[in-house]
């Protein structure tokens, strides 16, 4: 019996030592705080740890590793192994995925946003584009259509946006320019201070961000149906780090992406959107709805010119821009 127990203890010790020898920890650079926008990363960390019995962990940091606009740079030099960023923060660094930020694409759900993003992420031109930064696209952070919260008198027509300073990035910013607004690009964490100080009078965000970053605390109005587009904010990993994972740990990571995204979507469509309406009502925020004629005029002024300009600019830069645009619009037309 004593010999048997000794053998069991020895085997357990050897297993522990083997596990420690293959233990891996990745640092993950996010920003702000845990919120609907980061739920898939949080879930991914949980799943990876569970599947590897704690031998592979994702150490998530909210702002402690990098500025959000510098996350892609950090990935490129291996300062951390995983990060989230938004394409509109630096369009020149990731032009391929900015096709997903064009205004009025007509995306109807978070599920469709995921399908479109993954199709673009897997396109050879996109893979090569991000490879310049030693980055591999892992998964999107699907967001609904943006709308605008602002201070002062609520707009009653698109003409009322003329001269209004609006925090709006990427294609949304370009769209707002067509109705005379003055778009300003800044990171989400800078927005509340800019709004409080009067640098911007309005902010384009998805609902979760209006709540998380406090724009509804002093907003007096919100547009419920402007829907000019959304932003694309992928989660990326350092390619060398991904290649260096053991087969088991790589499988645990990649095999958890779908479940992490399912969790994200369920949370966003559930808890986040359930909280949105009451949050507006509690603060007495006026809900602004534009006429069908206004929305049609907005689309006509913004969508086609923005798409044409994007295709021309990126084709000149060597991207198969028309092909990427056709991929996205074709999938939308087919209801994919």
Question: Residue 59's pLDDT is what?
Answer: 98
Sheet with 56-62: list strands edge to edge.
56-62, 24-30, 82-84, 235-238, 135-139
For the domain 147-230+278-303, what is the CATH code? 3.40.190.10
- DSSP conformation class of 78: T
Question: Residue 179's pLDDT is what?
Answer: 93
Which pair of structure tokens corresponds to residue 214?
């406090």
Sheet with 202-205: list strands edge to edge.
182-184, 165-167, 202-205, 147-150, 221-223, 286-288
Where does the chain hold its CATH 3.40.190.10 domain(s)?
Answer: 147-230+278-303
Question: Residue 15's pLDDT is what?
Answer: 45
- DSSP conformation class of 203: E
pTM for the complete prediction?
0.89
How many residues comprise the chain? 336
> Superfamily for 24-142+231-272?
Bacterial extracellular solute-binding protein, family 7 (3.40.190.170)
Please state whether 304 falls in left (phi above 0), alpha (psi between -120 and 50) or beta.
alpha
Q: Which residues contact 55 (CB under 8 A, 6 or more apart)?
A: 19, 22, 23, 24, 249
Question: Residue 187's pLDDT is what?
Answer: 85
Can you list the residues of the chain whose pLDDT is less than 50? 5, 14-21
3-state secondary structure of 311: helix
Please state whether 121 falls in left (phi above 0), alpha (psi between -120 and 50) or beta.
alpha
Over residues 173-231, the pLDDT tens digits come to 999 999 999 999 888 889 999 999 999 999 999 999 999 999 999 999 999 999 999 99
On the 0-12 / 13-18 / 19+ scale of CB atoms within 10 A, 178 is buried
Where does the chain hold its CATH 3.40.190.170 domain(s)?
Answer: 24-142+231-272
- DSSP conformation class of 109: -
Question: Residue 21's pLDDT is what?
Answer: 46
Question: Residue 335's pLDDT is what?
Answer: 84
State CA 234 to chain mean position distance. 5
Question: Residue 214's pLDDT is what?
Answer: 93
Helix, strand, coil tally for the chain in percent (to 5):
55, 15, 30
């Amino acid at each position: 019996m004593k010999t048997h127990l000794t053998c069991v203890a020895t085997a357990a010790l050897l297993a522990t030592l083997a596990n420690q020898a293959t233990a891996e920890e990745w640092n993950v650079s996010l920003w702000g705080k845990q919120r609907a926008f980061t739920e898939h990363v949080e879930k991914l960390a949980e799943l990876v740890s569970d599947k590897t019995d704690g031998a592979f962990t994702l150490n998530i940091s909210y702002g402690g590793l990098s500025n959000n606009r510098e996350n892609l740079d950090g990935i490129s030099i291996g300062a951390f192994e995983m990060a989230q960023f938004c394409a509109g923060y630096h369009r020149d660094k990731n032009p391929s995925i900015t096709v997903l930020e064009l205004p009025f694409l007509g995306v109807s759900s978070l599920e469709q946003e995921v399908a479109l993003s993954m199709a673009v992420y897997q396109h050879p031109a996109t893979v090569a584009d991000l490879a310049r930064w030693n980055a591999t696209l892992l998964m999107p952070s699907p967001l609904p259509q943006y709308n605008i919260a602002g201070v002062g008198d609520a707009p009653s027509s698109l003409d009322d946006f003329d001269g209004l300073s609006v925090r709006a990035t990427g294609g949304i910013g370009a769209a707002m320019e067509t109705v005379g607004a003055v778009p300003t690009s800044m990171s989400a964490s800078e927005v509340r201070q800019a709004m409080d100080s009067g640098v911007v009078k309005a902010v384009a965000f998805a609902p979760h961000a209006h709540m998380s970053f406090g724009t509804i605390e002093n907003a007096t109005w919100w547009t419920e149906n402007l829907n000019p587009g959304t932003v694309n904010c992928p989660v990326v990993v350092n390619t060398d780090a991904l290649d260096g994972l053991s087969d088991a740990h790589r499988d645990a990571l990649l095999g958890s992406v779908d479940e992490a995204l399912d969790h994200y979507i369920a949370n966003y469509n559930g808890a986040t959107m359930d909280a949105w309406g009451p949050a507006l009502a509690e603060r007495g925020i006026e809900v602004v709805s534009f006429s069908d004629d206004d929305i049609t005029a907005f689309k006509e002024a913004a969508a086609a010119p923005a798409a044409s300009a994007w295709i021309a600019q990126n084709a000149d830069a060597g991207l198969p821009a028309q092909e990427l645009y056709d991929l996205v619009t074709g999938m939308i037309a087919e209801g994919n």
